[in-house]
Copies of this chain bind each other. A is one copy, B any other.
Amino acid sequence: MVKEEIFAIGIDVGGTTTKFGVVNSEGKILEQDRISSNEHEVVEDFIDDLYHKLIPMIERAGGVKNFIGIGIGAPNGNIYSGTIEYAPNLKWKGIIPIANLMEKKFNLKTKLTNDANAAALGEMMYGGCKNMKHFITITLGTGVGSGIVIDGKIVVGHDGFAGELGHTIIRPGGRLHKSTGMLGSLESYASATGVRETAIELLTQHPEKYSLLRNYSINELTSETVYACALQGDTIANDIFEFTGQILGESLANFIMFSSPSAIVLFGGLTKSGNLLLNPTRKYMEANLLPIFKNKVELIFSELKESDAAILGASALVWELNN
């Protein structure tokens, strides 16, 4: 008798792109695809688009009968209500009952959580944190996302919204975060956007200093160009990573003194900068810890691709449904 395989659909709704895939019970992504997140005026059109891309995948896996459900990770996704609530980076405003709408469209049980929590769940079930009960994931992308695991469970808080570490204030009265209006939040410094702003600040504050970065137009100044220049020994580019690592390291020290995790796992585009980012981050993290916390917390990059982690994590929500 052939053992019948069952599948889940994992969907990662990002600010720009939505990635999705068919996942088996061992956490293997059989196939995946993507659509834009912000081309659809209403969420129903977005769901239609998803449906047309997913149906052929579902058919190739033997049809809906072989699927146990859909898991979604999305910004401000609320696990309790299945709604996306006031997500600043998405086009659909207000409270969006996405889990409910998906269930009706696909006739499959659907579970929603925050995108960063989905990545943390993927890390816990299929990544380097498989045997850890206490860790924090930080996604350093366009923004800064976070997922917190305590006692082997994702922390969602009383209302489902816990774990917004990117919006904690690390420089009171500091840099303006354009979409939230807050001053000095972690995200305004330790994101790709933040690195770009730091570059512009340092270049304009020190017009006398030579820098390879001056060969780029403002539009070309990205975390990638800063990285490329830093590798060539450019002082300002290296200062940018030192400063970014300082802000991130100080924030991580604060988080460690909150939940005392075994590890902090970094995801996202900025991690391509490797040790240029990791070394100053670790230095400032350790320098800002009470002695009882020093030299105990692993600071590592995820072995999973962020999008894979989020698809896997979203699908993991579904396997929980099955228990």
Contacts and interface: CB of A to CB of B under 8 A. Distances in A.
Given A150-B150, A158-B134, A168 B293 contact: no
Contacts of A250: 169, 172
A156 B148 CA distance: 14
Interface in A158-197: 158-165, 167-172, 180, 182
A133 interface: yes
Contact of A169 (B160, B161, B261, B288): B288
Nearest to A164: B257
Given A150-B150, A163-B258, A290-B164, A172 B169 contact: no
B157 A260 contact: yes
Quick one: copies of this chain in the complex? 2
A262 interface: yes
A172 B134 CA distance: 26
Contact of A288 (B86, B148, B182): B182
Indicate the size class of the contact surface on chain A: 35 or more
Contacts of A165: 257-258
Query: Which residue of A162, A290, A291, A293 has the most chain B CB atoms within 10 A of its CB atom?
Result: A290
Contact of A259 (B133, B162, B172, B291): B162
Contacts of A182: 288, 290
Nearest to A292: B161
B259 A157 contact: yes
A170 B172 contact: yes
Contacts of A172: 170-171, 250
24 contacts: A76-B292, A86-B292, A133-B158, A134-B158, A150-B150, A151-B151, A155-B260, A157-B259, A157-B261, A159-B260, A159-B292, A160-B260, A161-B293, A162-B257, A162-B259, A162-B260, A164-B292, A167-B257, A168-B258, A169-B170, A169-B288, A170-B172, A254-B254, A258-B258
Closest 8 CB pairs of A and B: A157-B260, A162-B260, A134-B158, A168-B254, A158-B262, A164-B257, A162-B259, A167-B290
Given A155-B260, A159-B296, 4 more contacts: A76-B292, A85-B292, A161-B260, A168-B258
